[in-house]
Structures are given as structure tokens and as C-alpha cells.
Amino acid sequence: MYQGNIYLVGFMGCGKSTVAKTLMQALGMKDLDLDQAIETKMGQRIPEIFEQHGESYFRDLETECLLETKRLTQTVIATGGGIVEREVNRVFLKGQRVIYLEWPIDVLYERIIQDNNRPLARDYQTIYKRYEGRKSLYEEVASYKITCDGMTPYTVTEAISKYFK
Ligand code: S3P
């Protein structure tokens, strides 16, 4: 059985948290949602952190929580969509097993535009700009990319499980 951790990366709405849950069951691992870890640490929801302290402060917390995952074992870690923005995070991720869940922007846009819990999902232009800026960064840190369009969380999980078996 695979002993290390698995990091899931990809843009907002790509299904990282859902797949982390199904994958941990399929592989008999634990799971951790990095956004939830940040919320627990701060005792605040993500939109409140953005509103009160700003994005840069949120990114500091995100890096702190990411680096703390070093002490975990056999855990599937769902990261936030912006995890690749900081170079220190990318350097860390390049030393890990990282799966990139890739979807077309139009599908992601429909999923996230209504979501009040995502402070950066305000309008198409903002979302598109971030997506374009991050695409190559997800590729850069990924050990394996899954082109998810047309797939379900179940078939994505199957594809990842095969990769680790
Ligand atoms: C963000 C994505 C969110 C969350 C925060 C910032 C981003 O996570 O970390 O709102 O910069 O893309 P999800 O990818 O789980 O939505």
C-alpha cells in the first residue's frame, strides 16, 4: 500500500475535497482539507479571513498549514485552488506526490460563480485571469494530471487509485 501523502491540486470547483474523501476510502488513507485546517486554526471562515485581513495574510496561513502537513502520513490532502501562487508552496509540492484535477474553465465557472464561500469567485474576468495564470503552475507541481471533463468523482478516484497501485 502507498505509504506517503497525496496532494490534490487544481482550480476552485475541480472537486479536490470530494475526491479526497472518495480516494481516502479507496486507498484506506486519512484525509485533510487545507481550507478547513486554516478555518480551524483561525476560528474564522475563509471569506471572513479575506475580508478582515486580506489575501496576503490568507496566503501566509495557507503556506503555514501546507508546511505543517509534512508531519502527516498516509493522508490525502485537498489543497485550496491558490496553493500554487506562492513559490515556497510550489517548491514544497514538487517534492510530493501531487495530482492535478484539470477541468475546462467554463465548467468550473458555472460551479463556483454562485458560491459565497469563495471570495475570489466574483466575476468571469477575475476567475478567468486567475485560471490562466495558474494553469502552468498546476502542471509544474503535478506528478500526474487527470483531464476530468466527462468524469465523475468515482471515475477520477479510480484513475488515481490505479496510478498508486
Ligand atoms: C482560493 C480557493 C479556495 C480557498 C480560497 C482561495 C483560490 O479553495 O482556498 O477561497 O485562491 O483559488 P477551493 O479551491 O477549495 O475553492
d(CA 109, CA 121): 8
Using a cut of 0.95, tell me whether the model's pTM lies above it. Answer: yes
> Distance from CA of residue 112 to its chain's centroid?
14
Centroid of ligand 1 to alpha carbon of 115 (angstroms):
11
**Which candidate, 105, 98, 101, 107, places its Cα nearest to that of 153?**
101
Which three three-digit cell numbers place residue 85?
A: 501562487
pLDDT tens, position by position, 116-164:
899 999 899 999 999 999 999 999 999 999 999 999 999 999 999 999 8
List, chain by chain if needed, residues with CB within 6 Å of any ligand 1 atom: 12, 16, 35, 46, 80-82, 118-120
Check: CB of residue 76 under 8 Å from CB of residue 26: no
Rg (CA), the chain: 15
